[in-house]
Amino acid sequence: MDDDRFRWQGEGVCRGVEPEVFFPVSDDDAWRAKELCNRCAVRNPCLVFSLQNRERYGVWGGVTEKERVEMFRRGLAQRALEEALQRAG
């Protein structure tokens, strides 16, 4: 994946962390992933990627699958995607 759109994936603080951390059984178990995402420089592109691709599972950009569903329900996901598009120019 040399494509610029995916460059952020090599810069996440989750590199080398066990994948299970980002696929918790419940939102209550997502605290460790969220802690890592909170200090990740590529949190925003990560979240945008998950929204664009309707990722069904896992924590992306500090947001769990249930929280992404809620973002779509409340129109927050569409707004985040529009803002990302504007930033990309």
Would you tell me which residues interact with ligand SF4 (CB under 6 A)? 12-14, 22, 36-37, 40, 42-43, 46, 60-62
Report the C-alpha gap between 18 and 6 in whole angstroms: 20
Shortest spacing between CB 7 and ligand SF4, in angstroms: 11
Shortest spacing between CB 75 and ligand SF4, in angstroms: 22
Shortest spacing between CB 84 and ligand SF4, in angstroms: 14
